[in-house]
Amino acid sequence: MKRYRKVRVVALFIVCIMIFSLWNPLIFASSKDTHSQSTGQNIESNATPEGVKNDKEVLLDSNAAAEDKSKASDKETEPAIKQEEVPRNQEDPSDPQEKEEKTEGTSIDQGKNTESEGTSHIGEESIEPKDSSKEEGNSPQDEDLVLEEEPEKTISYYPASSPLRVGPIIQSFGLLKSSGKMSSLHSDIIGDYVKPLEGLNLTKNATVFKNTHDGRQIFQLDLTATTESKIVDKTKPSDIVLVLDRSGSMTETLENIYTEITNAPDTSKTYYIKINGSYQSINYNYGGWYYGSSSNRKFVSWDKNGDDSSPGSDGVREWIIWPILDRWVAPDNPIGKPFYTRTEVTRLQSLKDAANHFVHTVSQESPDSKIAVVSFSGETTNHTSGLVNVKNGGSVNSTITNAINGLTAEGATHSNKGLGLAKNIFQGDNTTDRNRVVIMFTDGEPGNQGFNNNDGYRYAAAAINQAAALKGQRGRTINSDVSFNGYKPNNSVDLPRTANNEPGCGATLYTIGIFPSNVSNHAHRYMAWVSSDNDSSQTATNPNGYEYYFTAEDNDSLNNIFQRIAEETGKTIEDVAIRDYIDPRFDVVDAEGNRLEVGAKVDGGAGTIKSDNNILYIEWIKAKIEPGTLEEGKGFKGTLYLKPKENFVGGNNVPTNIPNLSAIYSGDQNIGSFPYPLVNVPFRLNIKNINDTVFLGENIPKSQNEARDEMAAENLTNIPYQYPSEMLNIHWNENFTKDTKPRDTTTYTLVVTATPKDYIQNPDEDFYHPAIGTKATEVSKTGTYSIEVKKGTLTISKTIKGIENPDQSFVFEIRQYEDIGKTKLAKTFYETIRVTNGSNNGKIITLPKGYYEVVEKDDWSWQYDAVGNTKVNDTLGMDKNGNRDLNKVNAKTSFVNQSKEIKWLASIDWAINKFTGGGN
């Protein structure tokens, strides 16, 4: 036992030694810290009292703290410089802008995201790692301590507020490329290129008209329109066959139409209210209008000015037999809402409405046309017994409208029968010099069961064969026996099945379908193949992009489709309008280069400058394009002049006009787009110099992006157009952020370089003319952002009254606050002044903005007493009220001391303290 007790004692002793060895450094560090805070009692010569940090220590400590603080770099959002969208045939599928937004700390150059050494985003700091080898004696700030000889001592003092920069840091602004034909400003209104009507010839050419004194060129644009046939007359009358589906599915509802009531509701009827955009049926009971189940019943009241989105009010519980039977009844004041009635519109009714509207339009636009009405289901009917005049005695022929209104729905969808009957009507008519049009409408897949089995494919093939004969060139023998999805029509398919040696009818065939959203791709391919689009490919998956196959989703869209077909079928285009939409990079000018505004006349008064969504265009109205040549005085010719805008940088292959919108219009319908001239514009960079003034210690007032936007505002911001990717490179030669506190007057240089790029790359010669004008060549320009830094000076004057041993040193504590309320102490440092001849000055220069409080440290001196105030203050960079004042660069303090009359000392000095403040 004794032996084990000795072992435990030895083990305990070892543990104690280990604990003490770990704790001892902490005790030592604590004692050092405590010692450093103690106030020294002995001062010799100019030495700073022990425990009081000298200027170099303050600088080093401030740098270390600032370095730690600056490690959290700020990130500024870089405004997007607008990019040009390339033409559709040159689309770039990538979107570098999305990558840029997701990537931090990378450089953007040439439209790509790449890691780049020595390069960072504007607004991000490049931080130099702290060099642990730098000691107090060789700190870079030692050079800032400048001591003037007696009688005046000067200290250059400004602790660094952020770490040294690694530089120069260059930021490249690679412009981003996006897809599309034009800039986003116009993409929502640009349509597709419209091929001019047959016989209509359109040209537009650009030439250099003159060079101006400012180095820019004026371009002359000449537009012409001539015809080879009399399209200005009423278009040839049309013979139109409507092939209409009346199968059983036509009784299904196409849409519900809700109509707001204007009179008090009838409590015996059902109405509808709108909640968050959806309609909810309501009925009257339980003392009010309600909806919902008994456990969640909501009540409303009729108010045509009420809330059309919020839900109803909760009901009030009413006991019928308490506590066994209850019910929820209307509250006293349920929420008021508008009430609606609902009308269910079937597919057949919608077809009747649209077809009647179509007939009315044709009667107005082409009154000499004829129309036949054919319907199909499992059987087919020729309701008008062939083609009849669309008008009868000045009104729409009732034979046509009665045929449409008398349709009833039943049976299958044998579209081949309806097309076969239309074929028979045309083949039996020998009339020439008339257009032929067939419009087939259907609401479903062909056959008895659609494409759910082979039956639908066989009926689709039969319909395509009949369509081939209808669309075939008039007088040409047509044979067609196609297969659809691998199936040909067999004996199970009702006649007609094929086209065997049949004369072509020369008809234009439109197809219109009302299909659910989940209709099979076979349906789209079938409808496109039947139509004059003649798409027999395996890839026809939707009607987008087709000219003769349309789909309708509701009553309005069906009406619009029939209306469009009616306008194409027969319409006069006399009194057309020519509109030339100007690219926003150009101004419309006169022959002398003077800019013209909206409303001004051009081309000898024939054209007028107008605006559409802030897009300028020239319009010539009531134009008459007669057959013949311009030399014969026929056709149309218009001339205008364009000049690049002052703020347009320039480039090559620049379009002068907005594609597709520049066209001939009949009403609002584009009947032919003009080609697109291209021009070259030499570069012009407008970069200005800017200046700011700060007080030492203040941040730079602008970020790199803000300074850049102000300096290059004329070229880069507030412009309604874009530049090609990689054309402009913009960078700063020096890095700075809004957190940068410059120590001296500093100049930052912005460099902008423009490299020639084509706005339209590889232009299609069918649409674009080769570019004219002086080509742009590379140009680089610089601008400067100058920061003037004002610095403060604090002078401390010390005077000793008396003549005994005046060779003494005095210590002053200087406290810098950020405001006059002293809510935040920025830093504290100390200054010593040695008085040899009764007085001396200590001057501290290069001080930052702040409120300074000077305190004489008298607790270390046993020889002198201060009389009066020992704490005085003044300001730098601000006035006495704390307002920013860049002219307040000097602060002054003054102290006077007298002896403590300690007779046993070797000298007797008398001191009187006096403070005077308020430098300028």
The answer to whether residues 459 and 552 belong to one domain is yes
* pLDDT tens-digit readout, 278-296: 999 999 998 899 999 877 8
Looking at the domain assignment, is residue 798 inside a domain? no
Instruction: Name which of 413, 251, 255 is nearest 348 in CA terms.
Output: 251
Query: Three-state SS across 546-603?
Result: CCCEEECCCHHHHHHHHHHHHHHHCCCCCCEEEEEEECCCEEEECCCCCECCCCCEEC
Higher pLDDT, 274 or 36: 274
Task: Tell me which range, 714-723, 854-863, 904-913, is most confidently predicted by mean pLDDT.
Answer: 714-723
- Name 272's bridge partners: 281, 340
Which tens digits make up the pLDDT trace of 188-209? 445 578 888 766 889 999 999 9
Within a domain: 599: yes
Residue of 679 and 114 predicted with greater confidence: 679
Quote the distance between the C-alpha of residue 920 and its chain's center: 51
pTM value is 0.43
**Is residue 515 located within the same domain as residue 370?**
yes
Q: How many CA atoms lie within 13 A of 167 on its CB side?
A: 14
Mark whether 717 and 595 lie in a shared domain. no
Claim to verify: residue 397 and residue 423 sit in the same structural domain = yes
Domain identity same for 109 and 120 = yes
Answer with the residue of higher pLDDT: 235 or 433: 433
Residue 59 lies in a domain: no
Residue 123 has pLDDT above 80, yes or no: no
pLDDT at 534 exceeding the cut of 60: yes
Q: Same domain, yes or no, for 429 and 544?
A: yes
The DSSP H or E segment spanning 894 is strand 890-899
Q: Tell me the mean pLDDT in the region 768-787.
A: 92
Domain edge (last residue) among 338, 359, 384: 338
18-37 pLDDT, tens per residue?
554 444 443 333 333 333 33
Q: What CATH number is associated with residue 665? A: 2.60.40
- Mean pLDDT (whole number) for 725-743: 90
Q: Is residue 310 situated within a structural domain?
A: yes
Q: Are residues 308 and 395 in the same domain?
A: no
**Does 271 score more than 50 pLDDT?**
yes
State whether 426 and 532 are in the same domain: yes
Whether residue 435 is predicted with pLDDT greater than 90 in this model: the reply is: no
3-state secondary structure 741-806: CCCCCEEEEEEEEECCCECCCCCCCCCECCCECCCCCCEEEEEEEEEEEECEEEEEEEEEECCCCC
Provide the percentage of residues in the chain whose pLDDT is more than 90: 39
Q: Tell me the pLDDT band of 62, cut-offs 50, 70 and 90.
A: very low
Question: What is the total count of domains within the chain?
Answer: 4
Pair 783, 750: CB distance under 8 Å: yes
Examine residue 293 and state whether it is found in any structural domain, yes or no.
yes
Which range is least confidently modeled, 236-250, 731-745, 854-868?
Answer: 854-868
Considering the domain architecture, whether residues 473 and 522 belong to the same structural domain is answered as yes
Question: Does some domain include residue 193?
Answer: yes
Question: What is the tens place of the pLDDT at every residue in 548-584?
Answer: 899 888 888 888 888 777 766 644 346 788 999 999 9
Quick one: pLDDT band at residue 243, thresholds 50, 70, 90? very high
Residue scoring higher pLDDT (889 or 887): 887
Q: Is residue 722 part of a domain?
A: yes
Q: Is the pLDDT of residue 904 over 90?
A: no
| Range of weakest confidence among 175-179, 609-613, 652-656 | 175-179
Query: How confident is the model at residue 66, as a pLDDT?
Result: 38
Are 649 and 731 part of one and the same domain?
no
The residue among 505 and 179 whose pLDDT is bigger is: 505
Residue 136 pLDDT greater than 60, yes or no: no
Same-domain status, 468 and 614: no
Could you list the residue range(s) of the whole structural domain that residue 371 is in? 238-250+349-569
**pLDDT greater than 90 at residue 418:** yes
Q: How far apart are CA 650 and CA 646, in angstroms?
A: 10
- 338, 362, 396 — which closes off a domain? 338
pLDDT band at 714 (very low <50, low <70, confident <90, very high): confident
| Better-scored residue on pLDDT, 483 or 201 | 483
- CB 769 within 8 Å of CB 815: no
Of the three residues 788, 816, 851, the one that is the final residue of a domain is 788
432 domain-assigned: yes
Q: Averaged over 759-780, what is the pLDDT?
A: 86
What pLDDT sits at residue 33? 39
What is the 8-class DSSP label of residue 648? -
Q: Are residues 668 and 690 in the same domain?
A: no
pLDDT of residue 546: 67
What local confidence, expressed as pLDDT, does residue 595 receive? Answer: 94
